[in-house]
Structure 1
Amino acid sequence: MTRRLDRAVGTAAASLLSPFRSSRPQPADPRRILLIQPTAIGDTLIASGLISAIERRYPAAEIVVAHGPSNAAAVKMLEARVRPVQVGFANPARAVAALKALSPDMIVDLTPWPYATALCAHFSAPWSAGFNPQGSRRGRLFDLSVPHRTDRHEIDNLDALSQAIGAGPAREMRISRDASARADLPASDGLVLCHVSAGGARAAAKAWPVENWVALARGLVAQGYQVGFTGVPADAEAVAPILEVAALPADRAFSLCGKLSLAALAELLAEVPLLISVDTGVLHLSAAVSGRAIGLHGPTHAARWGSVSPAALGLDSPHPAGGFVQYGWEDHPQAEEIMPMLTPERVLSAALDKLEAQPRLRANEDA
């Protein structure tokens, strides 16, 4: 369902349904709680603290996470004991049937704006909670709605939702770690990881130019560091031209695309002195393990979507249109002009400042 259709149908449905549904009391002792989180590794990781908070608040309840194919691996990494169920929300009628078959006592919709998921929650459980963006009628579809604000980080919105349903604070990301995933990891000392590819509808706008990655890689290698480019197998196509143009020794700059599971990548991110990444799920995976990172932001602002790790730094493009993305569906005529204004000189300087502040993790000067 397109966003325009989602909004048109959802707004009409909210107006028609809300007069016939009064808010009902939240279940005191739910047997099964269903959480809707259909997309994105990063969004799932940011919501991990809320999911753990719900588990602590309702220890006897079964927690079901309705997810999609793109975030299945992230759901498996949640610290909370959950039952993952893949649901296709592109067809709301089928999604409602799938959710109702699970017999939830309450549903919490973790998505910020789609009417489709709110309608699914409305029709699939005796009680539901979710977000109401400014100027939206979406909140009318829930028994309890929480304002969704674009002037704060998404983890703060999720924290507000967690507090509203009585689950308590949820600002700390909570994932499970797999020590066995450390087997066969590359040596982390002096290794700077770079992640060049974002997912989602705004992937092209979030991309940093090849020539900027080339300049950054050359600058890091000149200072004695190794550079490893991470990604799924398909990301190798984006990394190949960077390595080709940079023309650096193969043991100093190389591709790790397709060579690490998400669990293994988490372990490596916890150990390396630095990750440099566009705004995507890997940046939030680093935050979940308190990793050291620099996030490169253009369409999004770091204050809204950046890493929440205390050891991370977000660099925003100075382009006046920067930060136009609040939810992910927005567009701008200058969208692909924003990231190029974040210069490699600025990123390299910030990277070296962070690396030099970690003497025990610096590369060998003789490398």
Structure 2
Amino acid sequence: MTAPSKATHPAPRRILIVRLSALGDIVMASGLITALKTLYPHAELSWVCEAGCVPLLKHNPRLKQVIVWPRGEWQSLLKAKRYVALWRAIRAFRAQLRAEQFDLVLDGQGLLKSGLIAWLTGAPRRVSIIAREGSHRLVHEVATPTPGADPVMGSEYRYLAHYLGAPVGSFVHDLAVGAEPQARARSVLQAARLAARADDANAPAARPLVVLAPFTTRPQKHWVESNWTELAQALIEHGLQPVVLGGPADREAAERICQGLPQLINLAGQLKLDESVALIADAQLLIGVDTGLTHMGSALRVPTVALFGSTRPYLQGPAARTRILYDALPCSPCRRRPTCNGAFTCMKQLTVERVLQAGLGQLALSQPQAEPSA
């Protein structure tokens, strides 16, 4: 394990975190905000990321600003072979970064693209985690955690905070809920509840909210689609209100899951990203696969059940409120290279009953305990 940095450095005044994507990784890296504010309470913190990830960060009062990396513009110019315009765009972005006069830049992605952005700042101290694709040449220091040494969510980013000297316990995931997104999420949910009650006059007015997050980018990370319908039915029978959450691309699959079950609320594609964060923050339980929404539940300390198989981003949540269902098969985690020819046994053997009981158990942990009678 790489030792914490022993060199003496002046306390930075302006710090930039470079973590460009993806949603789940930004959620897991958000603990750097609290760790850095503990270590350097007077420093200004900024974050650079892709446009699609901005809503996760823009409501956080502990960040001075969120800088957008114009990846789409650069790619369009490159595709159109407009090399002079691309060079000008890169120079303009470099000027924007250097005008901030960052003292410390943390590359939390460790790739060539993130290392390049760190290098463009010209900061006198640039620290990367792991550093792949030759990005170590673009920074001054590399912090390399031992794989598997820390099983808790966000381990590599917590190690980076430790490397800098942040106190133990200062790394706490930090997702801020915006007031407007919260109001909008609650309004949409209330309208959906009313519609569900219209279809079922016997439905309670305010069932405890359970968010289901079935969707992710790779088929080997999915749970069996029909299982979600069966699970939702069981949750309803236990007096809970399941809600399917996802993005616009998930609408068709969400409709299949909700078909024939009018009490199951389908909000896939109806909420913006920061509104989804707000909805999750209001939930009493979240059940999901390895996707950004599931990691948000854990980061927000919502009772969460995470279904892992081909991937295993962590074995423990940041608190007991997260429970990981993962079976260590000989072939898992296979990540991006499944060897099962589409069998996906690692996910299929997670039965509905097992997931249901895990969810009810997590829900019970969050309930206030009755005082013993005298």
TM-score, reference length from structure 2: 0.75
- State how far apart, in whole Å, the 1-side matches of 2:60 and 2:26 are: 9
- Shifted more, 57-66 versus 71-80: the winner is 57-66
- 1:332 matches 2:338: yes
Aligned residue in 1 for 2:52: 70
1:143-222 map, 5 Å = 143-151=140-148, 152=150, 153=152, 155-169=154-168, 170-179=170-179, 181-182=182-183, 183-184=186-187, 185-186=189-190, 189-199=207-217, 203-222=218-237
**CA displacement 1:287-313 (0-9 Å, x = unmatched):** 222101111111222635x64242111
CA RMSD of aligned residues (A): 3.3
Output the CA distance in 1 between the equivalents of 2:265 and 2:62.
Answer: 35
Partner of 2:244 in structure 1? 229
Cα offset, 1:71, TM superposition = 1.0
Aligned to 2:127: 129
Shift of 1:96: 6.2
- Given the superposition, is the C-alpha separation of residues 160 and 358 from structure 1 closer, same or farther in structure 2, using an over 3 Å criterion? closer
Q: In the aligned structure 1, how far is the partner of 2:267 from the partner of 2:65?
A: 31
Taking the aligned partners of 1:81 and 1:335, their CA distance within structure 2 comes to 45
2:214–2:288 CA contact under 8 A, matched in 1: yes
1:203-254 deviation line (CA, Å, top 9, x unaligned): 222111212212212222233332210122332112111112xx22x1x212
3-state secondary structure, aligned to 1:121: helix
Q: In the TM superposition, what whole-angstrom CA distance separates every residue of 1:258-291 from its partner, at most 9, and x where no partner exists?
A: 3334444334333433111111111121122210
Q: In 2, Cα distance between the equivalents of 1:96 and 1:164?
A: 31
Alignment partner, residue 196 of structure 2: none
Contact kept, 8 Å, 2:18 with 2:48, in 1: the verdict is yes
Query: Is 1:352 aligned to residue 352 of structure 2?
Result: no
Change (3 A) 1:46 1:241: same
1:293 corresponds in structure 2 to 304
- Offset at 1:120? 3.6
Alignment map for 1:1-367 (pairs within 5 Å): 28-88=10-70, 97=91, 98-99=93-94, 101-103=96-98, 104-111=102-109, 113-122=110-119, 124-125=121-122, 126-132=124-130, 138-139=135-136, 141-151=138-148, 152=150, 153=152, 155-169=154-168, 170-179=170-179, 181-182=182-183, 183-184=186-187, 185-186=189-190, 189-199=207-217, 203-244=218-259, 247-248=260-261, 250=262, 252-301=263-312, 303-304=314-315, 307-317=317-327, 319-325=329-335, 330-334=336-340, 336=342, 337=344, 338-355=346-363
Q: Which runs of 5+ in 2 are unaligned?
A: 76-85, 194-205, 370-374
Q: Distance in 2 between matches of 1:131 and 1:56?
A: 20
What's the % identity of the aligned pairs? Answer: 26
In 2: Cα distance, 1:149 partner to 1:324 partner: 19
Gap change, CA 1:324 and 1:317, over 3 Å in 2: same
Structure 1, residues 305-358: CA drift from partner, whole Å, max 9, x if none? x64242111111454322233xxxx42333841322322232122223334556
SS at match of 1:314: strand
Contact 1:96 1:123 in 2 (8 A): no
Q: What is the CA–CA distance in structure 2 between the aligned matches of 1:210 and 1:105, rounded to whole Å?
A: 49
**Which amino acid letter does the alignment assign opposite residue 345 of structure 1?**
E
Cα distance in structure 2, aligned partners of 1:50 and 1:297: 25
Structure 2 distance, partners of 1:357, 1:35, is 35
CA contact (8 A) 2:303 2:363 kept: no
> Under a length normalisation based on structure 1, what TM-score does the superposition of the two structures give?
0.76
State the distance in 2 between where 1:259 and 1:267 align: 13
Bigger shift: 171-180 or 208-217?
171-180
Determine if contact 1:33/1:64 at 8 Å carries over to the other structure.
yes
Summarize the Cα distance change of 1:302–1:54 in structure 2 as closer, same or farther, 3 Å threshold. closer
CA contact (8 A) 1:299 1:335 kept: no
Greater shift in the superposed pair: 52-61 or 168-177: 52-61
Distance, in Å, in 1 between the alignment partners of 2:366 and 2:129 is 41
- 287-296 or 349-358: which moved more? 349-358
How far apart are 1:194 and its partner, in Å? Answer: 0.5
Aligned length: 325
- Tell me if the contact between 1:193 and 1:229 (Cα under 8 Å) persists in the aligned partners: yes
Contact 1:99 1:124 in 2 (8 A): yes
Supply the AA of the counterpart residue of 1:290: R
